[in-house]
Amino acid sequence: MKNAVFVYSPDQLSYKFSESHPFNHKRLILTMDLLKNIGALSDEDIVPARVATEEEIALVHDPSYIDIVKKAGQGLLTPEQTEPYGIGTEDTPLFPNMHEASCLLVGGTLQAVDYVMQGKSRHALNLGGGLHHGFRGRASGFCIYNDSSIAIRYIQEKYHARVLYVDTDAHHGDGVQWTFYDDPSVCTFSIHETGRYLFPGTGNISERGNGQGYGTSFNFPLEAFTEDDSFLLIYEQALREVIDYFKPDVLFTQNGADAHYFDPLTHLNASMKIYREIPKLAHELAHEYCDGRWIAVGGGGYDMWRVVPRAWSMIWLEMNDLPIPTGKLPEEWLDKWQKEAPVPLIPTWEDPNPLFEPIPRKAEIEEKNAQMLTKALNIIRSEKNSGL
């Protein structure tokens, strides 16, 4: 069995809104080039994304919505016709062949699922996926089809496995949460900046699931300006308790890289340190609870020059038990991309220290996050204590 596969097809880059749009899958090239430069990724590791079928897309999305996406990508619809579906908006503009491009991102995640669930590799990574805001009948927050929701339904139908979905994007994983809100066989876990200001606004600790699914939705909203230590404390403690409570067959992680201080869209103050630790714990727990089965996808990440390539490389390195490098990034990579980058690249694997001015209310922010964690996990802890 292979240890890990890296799912990628150049055509995945066709999911592109515009030159100026913050979501840009050039991130994939930058990351792969960095990994190749340090000798951590070879052509044998890469498997192509496949195109998801319309039936697979319909595992989650409404046929009428799929129809709109197809027609919009062929230029057959007016903005009045597409806007009610969240398409042709400032966030999710129209682009040619958007259906086909989206199917390739979904297919990439399904490819990753098949490799892991058929025992062809222990872990699989599709950085092109992680479009967690997509709704059943509506595009939202740069996401057209929700590859993660579709992949989880696909795992349920084809492999009958229990899935723990772990979302460390700075935005709440709303699309995936609502898809499985009533479903007790999928547990969704999202740690994110509080929705008080940040999109999409949901992800409160009180969103715990509904009906049969009550108690299988977990949210850990962090205060704006949260730093590494508090982020990691919450992440580690929460994930350890939730995985032990839910006991999944497979771990599915969404690895948005937008909680970093540099990210223009969010207000968390994390550094590269969390991107070392997030996959490390996921990896450890996948072996402890899921016989190693771990599927990882990408997600947000809007500082594609300074943050995403370094952050996403660490997922692949962790999957392959390779040591996380320290010190200088390869000169060749820096020289090549500095010409295009509008900002000075960070020349080392670590961030500069200090990365930012001290946050005046740091202690209170940490205290509030800790209080949030206690409330969010109360449902598990009280069940444990009552001996059920």
Partner 1 sequence: MIVEQIMEKEVYTLTPKDTLNDALKLMREKNIRHIPIVDEEENIVGLITSHDVKNALPSCLKEENNSAIYDTPIEQFMVKDIIVGHPLDFVEDVALTFYESKISCLPIVSGGKLVGIVTTTDLLTAYIELTGAHQPSSKIDIRLKDKVGTLADVLTLFKKHHANVLSILVFPDTENENSRIISIRVRMMNPLPIIKDLRNNDFEVLWPNLPGVNL
Interface residue list for partner 1 (CB under 8 A)? 22, 89-91, 133, 140-142, 171, 174, 195-202, 223-225, 264-265, 267, 359-361
Helices of type H across the chain: 26-37, 54-57, 63-73, 79-82, 98-117, 147-159, 174-179, 228-246, 272-290, 308-319, 331-338, 362-385
- 250-254 and 163-167: which strand pairing? parallel
Minimum CB separation of residue 246 from partner 1 in Å reads: 26
7 or 77: whose CB is closer to partner 1? Answer: 77
55 or 90: whose CB is closer to partner 1? Answer: 90
Minimum CB separation of residue 219 from partner 1 in Å reads: 13
73 or 141: whose CB is closer to partner 1? Answer: 141
Measured CA to CA, the distance from residue 254 to residue 300 in angstroms comes to 9
65 or 333: whose CB is closer to partner 1? Answer: 65
246 or 261: whose CB is closer to partner 1? Answer: 261
Measured CA to CA, the distance from residue 22 to residue 104 in angstroms comes to 20
Minimum CB separation of residue 224 from partner 1 in Å reads: 5
Minimum CB separation of residue 319 from partner 1 in Å reads: 29
Per DSSP, what are the bridge partners of residue 253?
166, 296
Per DSSP, what are the bridge partners of residue 2?
121
201 or 344: whose CB is closer to partner 1? Answer: 201
Task: Describe the strand order of the beta sheet including 121-126 as a list of residue ranges.
Answer: 46-47, 2-7, 121-126, 294-297, 250-254, 163-167, 186-193, 217-222
Cα→Cα distances 222→5, 82, 171, 340, Å: 32, 34, 10, 34
Largest CA distance in the chain: 61
69 or 329: whose CB is closer to partner 1? Answer: 69
Per DSSP, what are the bridge partners of residue 221?
192
Minimum CB separation of residue 141 from partner 1 in Å reads: 4
Minimum CB separation of residue 276 from partner 1 in Å reads: 26
Asked if 170 and 220 touch (Cβ cutoff 8 Å), the reply is: no
Structure-block tokens of residue 21 = 């749009």
What is the three-class DSSP state of 280? helix
Minimum CB separation of residue 91 from partner 1 in Å reads: 5
Minimum CB separation of residue 71 from partner 1 in Å reads: 21
Measured CA to CA, the distance from residue 78 to residue 209 in angstroms comes to 37
Measured CA to CA, the distance from residue 370 to residue 364 in angstroms comes to 10
75 or 360: whose CB is closer to partner 1? Answer: 360
138 or 276: whose CB is closer to partner 1? Answer: 138
Q: What are phi and psi of 216, to 5 degrees?
A: -120, 25
Minimum CB separation of residue 226 from partner 1 in Å reads: 11
